[in-house]
Amino acid sequence: MASENTTAIRLPVSRVSQPIGDFYVGKMDARKLIDISYTEIRAFLEGTQDKIAGIQRERSEKRITEIKRYVNLEYATFPTSVIISVDADCADVNPYADDDDSILQLTLSPFGKPGEPDHIPLEKIAFIIDGQHRVAGLEGLEPDRNFDVNVSVFVGASEADKAEIFARVNQAQTKVNQSLVVDLASFYEERGPLKFAHEVVLALNKAPKGPLHDKVKRLGKAQPGKGKIQTLAQATVVKPIVAYITRDPEGERNKRYKGIFSSKREPDAWRTFIFQPFYDDENARGVFEILTNYFAAVKAKWPDSWDDAPAGNILNRTTGYAALMRFLRPVYLSACDRGEVLSREACDEIFDRIEISDEELTRDNFLPGSSGISALYRRLMKEAGLS
């Protein structure tokens, strides 16, 4: 029974019956959910492995920061439920005529100084089984922003049930293929940096006589019979192009979503973001021409490595491409001013200075990952005289 000094939240809900038991699906204002919810990170107690408590994974502050920013974008959405559990003595279910539709009343007991209800924090009665990062990120909502969250509420779930739900929800999840995420940008109405770069890459991949013709694995998968030719995942190709437009692609997309096309840039920003002037001017053709000229020079320098993709060679795979795209910026700055198209002749002149042989472009010399990318980049810079 609620005391005289209690507050209640009333939620219209629908009952869902599954083998583990019944739970209730409804919606809650994000700020209210933040007020009443809490998590328990699974960790050692008293510094010993003999005692462990909690079920949640450790918080990722990086992910929370990203979500705090995301929830204030114009197209922000969390369509999947945050899953919470409340004790049975905090919940009353009052069914409508149809038992599957009900009112779930959550009873909250304030604590603190009597007589000051406006300043008394509410008890944390809702244990977050799944969704702790989303809830933490929602703390970053701007004051005037409304955001409802759909919630799945288990009443009186045991510790075993909480652990089962958390484990199954997260174990069953498969990380989304990033090339699929990139390809879905085709459906965006607004032409943000990701869609802009995606369109450039599609054009490069389709250009019959271009150096990147048929090199890109769309959706991250090679077409049947083209496994040797298609060596670069779509996301791998798109990512550095976006990085040459902005360090904040979601923010730029959000501007376009709101119909804002003008951007205030620092005068020398283009020296870091060499494709930013082309993006601002909706000039995808310019970026296409730069990359065509640049990689045509790469192909001319190492035709066997670029076209035939011999086993163990890294040039037209992730390591080589990432290093070459990093090298593109100093090459561009050595030959171009803001918004100019890098010529094939300027690229050839740079690559003519480089003495790296096809035989050197192997995994043994340039290990997969950031160390190999950096090693190849440094070698290119040194031999080109740009370091």
Question: How many residues are there in the chain?
Answer: 387
pTM tops 0.85, yes or no: no
Packed helices 234-243 and 318-335: angle between N→C axes, nearest 10 degrees: 30
Label residue 370 left, alpha or beta by phi (over 0 means left) and psi (-120 to 50 means alpha).
Answer: alpha
Identify the pLDDT of residue 40. 79
> Which amino acid type is present at position 161?
D
E-strand stretches of 55-187:
82-86, 91-95, 101-108, 126-130, 148-155
E-strand stretches of the chain:
7-18, 21-29, 37-38, 43-45, 48-53, 82-86, 91-95, 101-108, 126-130, 148-155, 216-217, 232-233
Identify the pLDDT of residue 47. 53
Identify the pLDDT of residue 49. 47
Domain boundaries, the chain: 7-171, 178-384
DSSP structure class, residue 187: G
Identify the pLDDT of residue 259. 87
> Which amino acid type is present at position 234?
Q
Give pLDDT tens digits for 164-222: 888 888 776 667 788 888 888 888 888 899 999 999 999 999 999 999 999 999 888 88
- Please give the chain's pLDDT, 387 residues, in tens: 344 445 788 999 999 999 889 999 999 999 999 999 988 765 555 554 444 455 566 788 999 999 999 999 999 999 999 999 999 988 998 877 666 788 999 987 654 444 444 444 557 889 999 999 999 999 999 999 999 999 999 999 988 888 888 888 877 666 778 888 888 888 888 889 999 999 999 999 999 999 999 999 988 888 877 767 888 999 999 999 999 999 999 999 999 888 888 778 888 999 999 999 999 999 999 999 999 999 999 999 999 899 887 888 999 999 999 999 999 999 999 999 999 999 999 999 999 999 999 999 999 999 999 999 999 999 999 999 997
Secondary structure class of 256 (helix, strand, coil): helix
Identify the pLDDT of residue 43. 53
Identify the pLDDT of residue 6. 57
Quote the CA–CA distance of 57 and 67 in Å, as a whole number.
17
Identify the pLDDT of residue 3. 43
Quote the CA–CA distance of 385 and 334 in Å, as a whole number.
11
Identify the pLDDT of residue 173. 67
